[in-house]
Amino acid sequence: MSGVSSLISITIFAQERMQVQSPDGHLTLTVFLKGDAPYYNLDLYGTTFLEDSPLGLSTSIGDFTQGLQMVSHDVQEVNETYQMSNAKFSNRKYEASMLTSKFANSTNDTLSITFKVSNNDVAFSYGIIPGNGQTNGIIKAESTGFNLPNDATVFLSPQALPMTGWQKSKPSYEENYLFDQPVGTPSEYGVGFTYPALFKLNEKGWLLISETGVDSGYVGSRLGEGSKDGLYTLDFPQMGENNGMGENHVGMALPGNTPWRTITLGTSLKPIVESTIAFDVVKPKYEPTTDYAPGRATWSWIVWQDGSINYEDQIEFIDLAASLNFEYVLIDNWWDQKIGRDRIEELVKYAGTKDVSILLWYNSNGYWNDAPQTPQDKMNTAPARNKEMAWMQKIGVKGIKVDFFGGDKQFTMGLYEEILTDANNYGLAVNFHGCTLPRGWQRMYPNFMTAEAVLASENLVFSQRAADLHSYKATILPFTRNAVGAMDFAPVFLNKKLSKDQVNGSIRKTTEAFELATSILYFSPIQHFGLTPNNLGEQPEFVLDFLKEVPSVWDETVFIDGEPGKYCVIARRKGDAWYVAGVNGEKESKTIKIGLPMLENLNLKQIYDQPNRSAALKTIEKAKTNAMKIKMLPEGGFIIVGTPK
């Protein structure tokens, strides 16, 4: 990873209102005092997307929500380039206008608010500078707000109550969505909503709110309940999270800065799908100790469940991974008891002969929920963690999946950071489950690969209702959860019934082209597939060929068309090859007309729906890629792969 940046600075002393525009001039931020309280608003193309919205912090050294005077402004131009090898893009040129406004309270303590405004994104962060030289303090709350127009509608996932759900392991960002409901619609549990938060602004466009740069120095925040006129304010974690351990406010060394609140806005959904703001405003916290390789993984647990955690079944899934040219196999919970450490070492050696690497599952906890799966007490303290990671490094394990965190407190954010940092010392990639939203972590922590933080594919196996809603929800996640970070949903199921015997289990309702398309639609640097060994003998060669070649990271991502709940089409590029994926979220056939200029002059292969819902392949030469008509069956999909001639 590398970056180049430049800044041009102009200082402007206090005035009542300060405006700054995006580099293209279309997005305008206004910061001002309303009375003696700080506010901001946002206009895009002259249309108000965020109305007057409050700013400020309540702290132990003073109140920065009112009683303030504007001191000065500093305006800078930001030009930065950087690269990432574990993202939906590889090279990024970030250009923004940066405004830092400073406000003083009656005791001459200073609140600075830094905004970075790019063409479709706004990020802002608070800084605190005590007037008396105090070196520490507590942030009790934020008055940060997002005031949506009254006629906006919401696509929001509710925050869960603490110590609820399976074995008291929530909150874990695994809830359903309010879909296109009026602002102010109450959340399911009455405690607000998780990020990212998507809003439709009637016919004006779309807006996505999230945050980035959260580490051990802060809490993970959420949106509180919205008012009927569209005001959503930021809330800190619930006190009961993590079994009541740890505070729900922030302890901070001073002077200090908060994480970044992010807003992505556009007249269409294109800026939201393509946004990189979660990574633009953060920096790597350490250098990688090795080259962490992205890739694809098989794992027995997702379909064959706990009974598959045995030596013989893991051999089958290692062989499956090798047959498909996959890089990894994940061995899930209970491996220490059902396989044992000595035989895990044998599996690592066997996988190595097949050019496959092993990932191991761990329970995060010793005491903050009732989840019984082992290994336990290996990741929650530094001595145990380092001993375990040294063992994994010695035998050749390449990564870990750590589960069941259940909170967003500063205490918990510190645990995430400690696991990542220690894992990097031993060359281990990290995947989190039962966890919080990753907030810029792909760039901040080079060995962070992916995280769940979504109602993921295990629910397709657990519940027929989840399987019935799969296609519908697949058209929501690209615009919400997956827009801001890697999402370990674990896609692509080709069994007609989701069980080992294929006699029992949930009935898959989606077509096979749909399932294959989700390997592109959903982004995760390590992509865990829902495939099973029997698929090798059941699927046509062109399906297996596609699975052998599909990347898990990308050089470029382009939103083509779609709308939540209806359909979604996304194109992604790896090297010279383009992969286009489309899915139909509705239970009726759909014919769409789309332009795909990136496919011009390429050799095209299309995988599409057949009437019997299996997949078929056709080769397209000299197609009119500016206006392609594609039919999808109910809950169907398609893939187009374009490669140079």
Q: What is the DSSP letter of 422?
A: H
Q: Is residue 321 part of a domain?
A: no
Q: Is residue 32 part of a domain?
A: yes
Q: d(Cα 399, Cα 13) in Å, to the nearest integer?
A: 52
Which domain CATH number covers 594? 2.60.40.1180
Residue 434 token pair: 């039962």
H helices of 143-300, in order, are: 270-274, 277-280
Q: Is residue 402 part of a domain?
A: no
User: With contact defined as beta carbons under 8 Å apart, do 212 and 125 qualify?
Assistant: no
Where does the pLDDT of residue 5 fall: very low under 50, low under 70, confident under 90, or very high at 90 and above? low
Q: Residue 355 has what pLDDT?
A: 98
Question: Could you give phi then psi for residue 393, rounded to 5 degrees?
Answer: -60, -40
Q: Is residue 380 part of a domain?
A: no
Q: d(Cα 320, Cα 413) in Å, to the nearest integer?
A: 36
Question: What is the mean pLDDT of the segment spanning 432-451?
Answer: 98
H helices of 292-354, in order, are: 301-304, 311-323, 335-338, 341-353
Q: Residue 6 has what pLDDT?
A: 57
Share of the chain above pLDDT 70, in %: 98
Structural domain that includes position 248: 3-280
Q: What is the pLDDT of residues 540-569, one digit of tens each?
A: 999 999 999 999 999 999 999 999 999 999
Question: What is the mean pLDDT of the segment spanning 99-103?
Answer: 97
Residue 544 token pair: 């297996």
Q: Is the pLDDT of residue 318 over 60?
A: yes
For residue 368, give the 3-state DSSP assignment. Answer: coil
Question: Could you give phi then psi for residue 13, rounded to 5 degrees?
Answer: -85, 165
Which domain CATH number covers 108? 2.70.98.10
Question: What is the mean pLDDT of the segment spanning 404-420?
Answer: 97
Q: Residue 12 has what pLDDT?
A: 46
Q: What is the pLDDT of residues 499-510, one digit of tens each?
A: 999 999 999 999
Q: Is the pLDDT of residue 645 over 90?
A: no
Q: Residue 411 has what pLDDT?
A: 94
Q: d(Cα 328, Cα 351) in Å, to the nearest integer?
A: 9
Q: d(Cα 57, Cα 114) in Å, to the nearest integer?
A: 14
Helix (H) or strand (E) holding 415: helix 410-425
Lowest mean pLDDT segment, chosen from 10-19, 154-163, 212-221, 486-495: 10-19
Picking from 245, 280, 315, the residue at the C-terminal end of a domain is 280
User: With contact defined as beta carbons under 8 Å apart, do 424 and 445 qualify?
Assistant: yes
Q: Residue 9 has what pLDDT?
A: 46
Q: Decide: residue 198, CB within 10 A, 0-12 exposed, 13-18 middle, 19+ buried.
A: buried
Where does the pLDDT of residue 16 fall: very low under 50, low under 70, confident under 90, or very high at 90 and above? confident
Q: Is the pLDDT of residue 228 over 70?
A: yes
Q: Is residue 183 part of a domain?
A: yes
Question: What is the mean pLDDT of the segment spanning 361-388?
Answer: 94
Question: Average model confidence (pLDDT) for the chain?
Answer: 96
Q: How many CA atoms lie within 13 A of 146 on its CB side?
A: 30
User: With contact defined as beta carbons under 8 Å apart, do 295 and 324 qualify?
Assistant: no
Q: d(Cα 394, Cα 498) in Å, to the nearest integer?
A: 36
Picking from 262, 280, 298, the residue at the C-terminal end of a domain is 280
- Beta bridge partners, 362, equal 402
Q: Decide: residue 202, CB within 10 A, 0-12 exposed, 13-18 middle, 19+ buried.
A: exposed
Picking from 280, 307, 322, the residue at the C-terminal end of a domain is 280
User: With contact defined as beta carbons under 8 Å apart, do 595 and 625 qualify?
Assistant: yes
Share of the chain above pLDDT 90, in %: 95
Q: Is residue 527 part of a domain?
A: no
- Beta bridge partners, 627, equal none
Question: Cα angle vertex 223, ends 437, 520, to 5°?
Answer: 35
Q: Is residue 299 part of a domain?
A: no
R_g of the chain computed on alpha carbons: 24
In sequence order, which residues have a C-beta less than 8 Å from that of residue 48 and are 6 or more positions away?
A: 41, 42, 149
Q: Is residue 446 part of a domain?
A: no
Question: What is the mean pLDDT of the segment spanning 151-155?
Answer: 98
Lowest mean pLDDT segment, chosen from 2-16, 18-32, 310-324, 376-390: 2-16
Per the structure, the count of domains in the chain is: 2
